[in-house]
Structure 1
Amino acid sequence: MKNRIALSEIAHAAPAAGGGATDPALGLLPVWKLSDLYAAKDAPAFTADLKQSETDALAFENKWKGKLAEAATKTGAGGIGEALKEYEALDDLLGKIGSFAGLTYFSDTSDPANGKFFGDVQSKLTDISSHLLFFALELNRVDDAVMDACMDRDPTAGHYRPWIVDLRKDKPFQLDDKLEQLFLEKSMTSASAFNRLFDETMAELRFDIDGEKQPLEVTLNMLQEADPAIRAKAASALSKTFSDNLRVFTLITNTLAKDKDISDRWRGFEDIADSRHLANRVEREVVDALAAAVQDAYPRLSHRYYAMKARWLGVDQLNYWDRNAPLPETPKAVIPWETAKETVLSAYGAFAPEMADIAGRFFAEEWIDAPSRPGKAPGAFAHPTVPSAHPYVLVNYLGKPRDVMTLAHELGHGVHQVLAGGQGALMCQTPLTLAETASVFGEMLTFRTLLEKTKDKRERKAMLAQKVEDMINTVVRQIAFYQFERKVHMARKEGELTSQQIGELWLSVQGESLGPAIKISEGYESWWTYIPHFIHSPFYVYAYAFGDCLVNSLYAVYQNAAPGFQDKYFELLKAGGTKHHSELLKPFGLDATDPTFWSKGLSMIEGLIDELEALDKELG
């Protein structure tokens, strides 16, 4: 059973209160209401559910432990189907409790009360989960032929066939029951503890800008300011604070890399990323082909684009902090929240009214947290919670054009999560490689809608440039991150790494991916420290490149598709975790195992750079 409380795949969250915050330039920014889950940390319903989950878990263990082989021979009462329904109900309940605890904690990790609440609930859920751990292990010990016959004979068991088939892929890497229980219980004082240390450290970091202490999100946002002096100050502040805290980030990185190495060794994984590939239900060869294709395209994508941008900004080389600097043609007006909302919903509605209807619920029913504020986690995410509830979306909205794209991205996740929820708690979760499909597709719909409305050629140039940069950040940057992680985890096998060694590995992959037009100067060696994916979800990052390239190919099909594309697209999203990527892509004529698949996806980025270059020549 997945320990949902860790929230490891979605990063962070924000406050439990509903309502909103008014900003003079942005308008009323919504704050979500976690009361849809529970009214408060001490709400009677929360206390009752926590107690009920413990009672139900013990009853489930007493009822089914040691009896699954016999249950596999029965149909109906006392059969595997009945056990799976009870297990799924428990998974949903524990997921709801864990989501509430985690989201409340991440609203302000500096609040000791939130930290205690999170820790206590996490401990309780770990204890409860230990009573359920036997189920997957024992189920995997049932003979394959007996299990196949059970699923064929019993419609209820057959309903869960995709989950059972996926579960049996884990079988070669599972340990005996006692060791699995030890791994589960020790996770609180190993990986989970260092994840929490990272989150609390990041939340408390402040960056000195002209004497004012700013949080991470605000400081990172300054790297997109038009004034180069502001960008330089932000970069300097980031480098200083990251460097001042290198010891703790180096300790966290070393500890988690070693912890993963121990787990991989005991479970028998051959490659350092194989556990992630298994979780993503994607073959190592497919990921290797993706990484190789992107690396081969560095000169045609990032190197070429940044050389063009340096020329536009009148320099031979861009400072590393100018990588996402706006072009002079970029509109400087702040985009109010209502405009961003209308932009995204309009783009979604033009594709499919149902998509806009689902996304609209996030606004109407207060499922979004938008303001940027002290204590709130940086970045953005969509958290699915559980099928019996609904997803939540967090953004730090500051009115930039990229913030609109981020909103479109996260709402794409949200729509996907709502649609996949129909599969139930066990089968709704989409592997990360496909989890980015709807989000990136939502971004593309929004971008294309805005681009079509933009008639001014200079504004069009700025929009194309920003989209190219976002795609480079999603594809090139994330594969560079993946290669960095590989180098760190491989080097850690030989011994503990110093901050300098980790910094050198970081600079090596950054220099290769960004190219000669980016000047990597002193200070940048510590910028690996703030990437949460390295901490929460090792090797998560290639999923972004996978999703972007996949969507580029999917969008090309959409542009030339006959009627019915939208229906097939919704079926893909509704499938959740019930189908392999090959099965889901087949109706679109796409195959990620085809060696040319990734080249097709990358060619769309190259085509946008071609279009941008032609437009630049036209403008003189």
Structure 2
Amino acid sequence: MTTDITAMLWDTTPLYPAADSPEIEAELAKGADETREFRAAYQGRVASLDSAALREALLRYEALNELLVKPQLYAHLLFAADSENDAHKRLSQRTAEFGNLMGRELLFFDLEIMEIPDDRFAAIVSDAQFATYRHYLESVRRFKPHTLKEREEQLLKMKSLTGADAFTRLFDELSASLRYRMELDGQEQEFTGEELLGLLHHPDAAVRERAFSTFLNRHEEEGIVLSTVFNTIALDHGQELELRNYRHPMEPTHLGNELPEEVVNRLMEVSEANYPLAQDYFRLKARLLGLPKLKNTDVYAPVGETDRRYTYEEAKGLVLDAYGRFLPRFREMAEAFFAERRIDVLPRPGKSGGAFCMGMTPRLVPYLLLNFTGNLRDVATLAHEMGHGLHFALAQKQTMLNYHAPLPLAETASVFGEMLLTRHLLEREDDPKVKVALLCAKIEDIIATTFRQNVLTRFEERMHRERQQGLLTSSQLCNLWWEENDRLYGDSVEMIPPYRWGWSYISHFIHARFYCYSYTFAELLVLSLYRKYLEEGEPFIPTYLAILESGGSQSPADTVRPAGIDLADPHFWQKGYDFLAELIAELKGLIAEA
């Protein structure tokens, strides 16, 4: 791996010189002043503004939002890179409290948009001068039946700092602080959580099981704190459901995602009906590994050549080549992330686990966080997060209120990027054994992004519903987790006992209610889009670019309709699993050839 460590740390100085820079305080003060001016100018008047004045208010509102969010995003990047740094902790908390206060001051604007009379609102959204903001305005109005009075909304937002937000921060700091000791290669060593999870791709089954057990057992040691965090998050959500008159725990997410409940229910039911497809693959992999049955620590075990290690430079080259083959412009855009040091690469103590892409604003470039350990999965993760980065970059033609894609489409470019990488890797190989290994890795990724995310969503749904009946003990949470995973694995995979604690490290459960079904949605959508690309070739590319460039300016259904996709089609989701079945059939053919 390259010895130039500096090149593998992101450079956040284009945002601010340092955590204690006077520029931060200056922009916080400017944001507070402009917020007060905006409130004084428009509070109590929004519903009565004429068209020209309302458009001016919208322009000021989104410029103000862009100003306010910059120091908060910067602080998040610093905290994610090193949560043990006191300056980063202070700035993170400072900007979180600032953002909460400014949010309370600006609540009135959306609330008053909701109060515009229906006939007047219909005229506004049909007016060409509001075309840019039509989707935003309609999105705000969708929440009207579940919105409280301004003072009540302010109090809820204020108390979140010492409620759910505080427990979220506790979860993040605890997770980043955990240290693990395990014997490897004959000596005891210290690992980060990401390094242990990376060992699930180790060729030695004993190492895989020992690594995952060490990771999970350490979480069990923190069971009191973790179960309290999960219970508090679920209780907070349940109380908000009651206050806002929602019917069930997932309804706010469906509303925000602009997806009818029946569409999501169909997505999950079709996924569960296809669990036997995953089980068929698990039995096939057991045979490939020479095992009577897989343990869940063997699911990502390397097959043949995929136990090889990749330097970061090799991973970078593969990802750039994969995107460049699809569209040379994509390669140029991706190269900018490396050249401008907008990627934080290596795991280390205090750094957030997993990986993410931080989309900033239409005027600020996105950043990527990785925990690169050199296996094939890490190469795919780079392709995945780079897809997010390209999506955010392309959406910068939108304005602030339309910048972020709705959650169901947020994973589109990332998953598509992984498909491009797999195609590139397969086409550069002639050895059938290597192709078997690569295809196994892709199939496992699809299973993880569809079936496993469905398991996570079902666990989360049950956790929230059962928390409404009373406190959930650690044992109860472990049982819910075990039962939902058992539905997926059936008799094809043996789960190791420590896996009962597998729920305890999933950050999506803490940060974003029911985010996980967006992965299933995106994977199946991308399989459909990718199939169209294979069929149409270059003529498909403008349609795909339009989807990414649209950001959050349209609903998910409207965004993908030009690609010939109807999300209401009851057979749509099955088509994605049919594609997976074809890949498994292709794998069986390669195995026979090899």
User: Which TM bucket (shorter chain)?
Assistant: over 0.9
1:47-58 → structure 2 map (5 Å cutoff): 47-58=25-36
CA deviation after TM superposition for structure 1 residue 338, in Å: 2.0
8 Å Cα contact 1:75-1:154 kept in structure 2: no
Q: Does 1:197 align with 2:170?
A: yes
Determine the C-alpha separation between the residues in 2 that align with 1:291 and 1:332. Answer: 33
State the superposition RMSD in angstroms.
Answer: 1.5
- The two structures have a TM-score, normalised by structure 2, of 0.97
Give, as a single letter, the amino acid of the residue that structure 2 aligns with 1:145.
D
Determine the C-alpha separation between the residues in 1 that align with 2:497 and 2:306. Answer: 32
Partner of 1:5: none
- The two structures have a TM-score, normalised by structure 1, of 0.93
Which one of the candidate residues 301, 305, 314 is aligned to 2:290? 314
Which one of the candidate residues 457, 466, 477 is aligned to 2:452? 477
Determine the C-alpha separation between the residues in 2 that align with 1:337 and 1:214. Answer: 20
CA deviation after TM superposition for structure 1 residue 364, in Å: 1.4
1:504-519 → structure 2 map (5 Å cutoff): 504-519=479-494
Q: Does 1:126 align with 2:100?
A: yes
8 Å Cα contact 1:23-1:29 kept in structure 2: no
1:416-565 → structure 2 map (5 Å cutoff): 416-561=391-536, 563-565=538-540
Partner of 1:40: 18
Determine the C-alpha separation between the residues in 2 that align with 1:322 and 1:200. Answer: 30
Partner of 2:549: 574
Secondary structure of 1:269's match? coil
Determine the C-alpha separation between the residues in 2 that align with 1:52 and 1:453. Answer: 54
Q: Does 1:187 align with 2:181?
A: no
Cα deviation digits, residues 44-101 of structure 1 (max 9, x gap): 2211100000000000000000111221xx243xx10010011001110111111011
Unaligned runs of 5+ in 2: none
8 Å Cα contact 1:27-1:337 kept in structure 2: no
Give, as a single letter, the amino acid of the residue that structure 2 aligns with 1:285.
E
Secondary structure of 2:402's match? coil
Secondary structure of 1:212's match? strand
Cα deviation digits, residues 208-252 of structure 1 (max 9, x gap): 202323110011111111112211221221232011111111000
Partner of 1:248: 225
Give, as a single letter, the amino acid of the residue that structure 2 aligns with 1:206.
R
Determine the C-alpha separation between the residues in 1 that align with 2:284 and 2:384. Answer: 27
CA deviation after TM superposition for structure 1 residue 27, in Å: 8.2
Give, as a single letter, the amino acid of the residue that structure 1 aligns with 2:145.
P
CA deviation after TM superposition for structure 1 residue 337, in Å: 1.8
Determine the C-alpha separation between the residues in 1 that align with 2:484 and 2:117. Answer: 46
Secondary structure of 1:393's match? strand
Partner of 2:270: 293
Partner of 2:41: 63
Partner of 1:357: 332
1:15-164 → structure 2 map (5 Å cutoff): 23=2, 29-71=7-49, 74-76=50-52, 79-153=53-127, 155=129, 157-164=130-137
Give, as a single letter, the amino acid of the residue that structure 1 aligns with 2:435.
R
Deviates more, 1:331-340 or 1:484-493: 331-340
Determine the C-alpha separation between the residues in 2 that align with 1:236 and 1:572. Answer: 42
Partner of 2:578: 603
Cα deviation digits, residues 536-584 of structure 1 (max 9, x gap): 1121001101000000011111111164311111111111111122222
Cα deviation digits, residues 352-400 of structure 1 (max 9, x gap): 1222221121111111111222211111111101112110011111221
8 Å Cα contact 1:27-1:336 kept in structure 2: no
Secondary structure of 2:548's match? helix
CA deviation after TM superposition for structure 1 residue 499, in Å: 0.4
CA deviation after TM superposition for structure 1 residue 457, in Å: 0.5
Shift in CA distance, 147/305, structure 1 to aligned 2, threshold 3 Å: same
Q: Percent identity?
A: 36
8 Å Cα contact 1:36-1:389 kept in structure 2: no
Q: Does 1:269 align with 2:246?
A: yes
Alignment length (residue pairs): 590
Query: Deviating runs (4+, > 3 A) in structure 1?
Result: 26-29, 150-154
Which one of the candidate residues 366, 380, 391 is aligned to 2:355? 380
CA deviation after TM superposition for structure 1 residue 425, in Å: 1.0
Partner of 1:341: 316
Give, as a single letter, the amino acid of the residue that structure 2 aligns with 1:365.
E
Give, as a single letter, the amino acid of the residue that structure 2 aligns with 1:293.
V
